[in-house]
A and B are shown apart, each in its own frame.
Chain A
């Protein structure tokens, strides 16, 4: 059995959690802060006692819960007595996107706008679970390796919890993401390298320090927070599953959990079993498309790449769950598609112009892939399609700053100038 890394207090167990199980070889472990199977290096997932969950979780119990993702607490790995660290994450809007849908020939298109979370990205879901679990285990220090959004969230939630915080990021991060992290006064470490190098460094340093890093040794618990995005989507659709979900792919960690969430919703009877399970479709930027490359090659073996894309928040060249993304996309009838840098920017503008939502480039990747697939004739038009928009545009506004599109009309403070310049008619 592995030794808990840095657990300052005995592990507080949830009655719903049986332990950890290796996704690759099935080896089982006690509940603890670790993420790697010692037998095969495979990923560890939380193993639940679903009979216990079934006794507790129902549509009624969930609907009676808080207006946050914690209404699904019975499906998350936190012990009952553990206080949660919350900024009100989750229950973000699910918007029926009629204007974007009209452009794409989709009559039932929905956008799950997760940029409406407390730090304006989907990461608040996973961080809230990870930090709540870590604090319950007695960890004093919390941290992450991040492409930016996770840094924002980890720094904010650490401040909320009063925990010491270390955040490691690539040194070329967007200015807004640096500011939106440093304002919370973590130990912010800029590493001269790309995200994959930051991640490797953090994996190594955690061998020597008693810290909880949400996407490393806390990863099995952290990842579970992703499921709430799909739970909410089903609840907001009236307790039914969509026909297809378009999801951005970075490490693939989130994608894998949406497959699990779909299975849990059906198995627990929270939704009626559909004739066909939702197709899960992955979106990447061509400038960092290792999972798309594997999909095209018909292989689960993902070859790393050096990222070169404006979609920095999903620029992971060595995606740890990439092979599982390929498998799940194939199993569910989904696809993995990728878009170019101009297509990403066009998609950001398209979403903004049609639906009033400003997303960061990762959201441009998702909407770009949605548009590409729609225009290629993937859908008849009646399917219920949901796209996950996972981060706010102000985090990387420079991606769409372009004089050609900046429709600013400068005038003097006079009615004459207004009429001349704005309306194009001279004032009498």
Chain B
């Protein structure tokens, strides 16, 4: 099953688990499934329009999903979705 990698600041929602597996066809479905298992994730990841919040980056394996199909990205069983705070790097 595809799995989410949960960053430290959100592990209070996942009961401390750094990795959560979900059953889903696409990324939006995966977030719904994650929220079903651990309520609160949808609101932390998505805004009122259902789009990723300003400071949330979602990576499907190597790539930022905004460079691909966004929340419509199809998932394979081996995919890893990383939730990464946007604020890092540079100067």
Question: Which of chain A's residues have a CB closer than 8 A to the CB of B8?
Answer: 5, 207
CB-CB nearest in chain A for B8: A207
Contact B87 A319 (CB under 8 A): no
Interface residue B41 (Cβ < 8 Å from any Cβ of A) = no
Q: Which residue, B44, B85, B87, has most C-beta atoms of chain A within 10 A?
A: B87
Cross-chain pair count, CB within 8 angstroms: 104
User: Are A318 and B62 touching (Cβ within 8 A)?
Assistant: no
B15 at the interface (CB under 8 A from A): no
Whether B67 lies near A203 (C-beta < 8 A) is no
- Whether the Cβ atoms of A41 and B86 lie closer than 8 Å is yes
Residues of A within 8 A of B55 (CB): 24, 36-37, 40-43, 320
A339 within 8 Å of B (CB atoms): no
B91→A41 contact, CB < 8 A: no
Q: Interface code B49-80, partner A: CB below 8 Å = 1, 0 otherwise?
A: 00001111101001010110000000000000
How far does the alpha carbon of A254 sit from the alpha carbon of B89 in the complex, in Å? 11
In angstroms, Cα B87 to Cα A145, docked, is 13
Contact of B53 among A41, A123, A306 (CB under 8 A): A41
> In chain A, residues 34-79, which have Cβ atoms closer than 8 Å to a Cβ of chain B?
35-38, 40-44
- Tell me the bound Cα distance from A323 to B64 in angstroms: 17
Chain A CB count within 10 A is highest, among B53, B82, B91, for B91
Cross-chain contact B9 with A306 (CB below 8 angstroms):
no
B91:A226 contact, CB within 8 angstroms: yes
B42 within 8 A of A: no
User: If the complex has contacts A38-B9, A40-B53, A204-B5, are A145 and B91 also in contact, measured as CB distance less than 8 A?
Assistant: no
Interfacial chain B residues near A203, Cβ < 8 Å = 7, 84-85, 88-89
User: Nearest Cβ distance between residue B43 and chain A, in whole angstroms?
Assistant: 11
Most buried by A among B8, B64, B86: B86
What is the minimal beta-carbon distance from B78 to any residue of chain A, in angstroms?
18
Which B residues are CB-close (under 8 A) to A35? 85, 87-88
Tell whether, in the assembled complex, residue B91 and residue A251 are in contact, meaning their CB atoms are under 8 Å apart.
Answer: yes
Q: In the complex, what residue of chain B is closest to A35 when comparing beta carbons?
A: B87
* Chain B interface category by residue count: 20 to 34
> Which of A134-142, A190-198, A368-376, A403-411 lies at the interface with chain B?
A190-198
**B62/A42 in contact, CB under 8 A:** no
* Contact status A250-B9, CB under 8 Å: no
A323–B88 CB distance below 8 A: no
Within 8 Å CB of B84, what residues of A? 200, 203-204
Distance of A207 from chain B, by nearest CB (Å):
5
A193 to B59, CA, bound (A): 14
A301 and B9 contact, Cβ closer than 8 Å, known pairs A35-B88, A145-B89: no
Give the contact-size bracket for chain A.
35 or more
Q: Which residues of A have CB within 8 Å of B66?
A: 303-304
Is the Cβ of B57 less than 8 Å from the Cβ of A42? no
Given A36-B9, A41-B9, A318-B57, A200:B91 Cβ within 8 A = no
The complex places the Cα of A222 from the Cα of B88 at a distance, in Å, of: 11
Q: How far is the CA of A281 from the CA of B84 in the complex (A)?
A: 29
Nearest neighbor of A215 in chain B, beta-carbon distance: B89
Interface: A202 (CB within 8 A): yes
- Compute how far the CA of A219 lies from the CA of B91 in the bound complex, rounded to whole angstroms: 9
B86:A318 contact, CB within 8 angstroms: yes
Interface residues of B in 16-46 (CB under 8 A from A): 18, 44
Question: A183 → chain B, closest Cβ, in Å?
Answer: 22
Residues of B within 8 A of A425 (CB): none
Which of A37, A196, A323 has the largest number of chain B CB atoms within 10 A? A196
In the complex with contacts A36-B9, A303-B66, A316-B56 CB distance below 8 A: no
Q: In the complex, which residues of chain A have a beta carbon less than 8 angstroms from the beta carbon of B53? A: 40-41
Smallest beta-carbon distance A224→chain B, Å: 11
Q: How many angstroms from the CA of A303 to the CA of B66 in the assembled complex?
A: 7
A84 at interface, CB cutoff 8 A: no
Least Cβ–Cβ distance between A357 and chain B, in angstroms: 21
CA A303 to CA B91, docked complex, whole Å: 19
- Beyond the given pairs A2-B9, A323-B54, 17 more chain A to chain B contacts, judged by CB atoms under 8 angstroms and listed by A's residue number, are A40-B53, A43-B87, A123-B91, A145-B89, A200-B82, A200-B84, A203-B7, A203-B88, A215-B88, A215-B89, A215-B90, A250-B91, A253-B91, A304-B66, A304-B67, A316-B89, A320-B87
A-B contact pairs, 6 of them (CB 8 A): A5-B8, A24-B54, A200-B82, A222-B91, A301-B54, A323-B54
CB-based closest 5 A-B pairs:
A251-B90, A41-B55, A199-B89, A36-B85, A38-B9
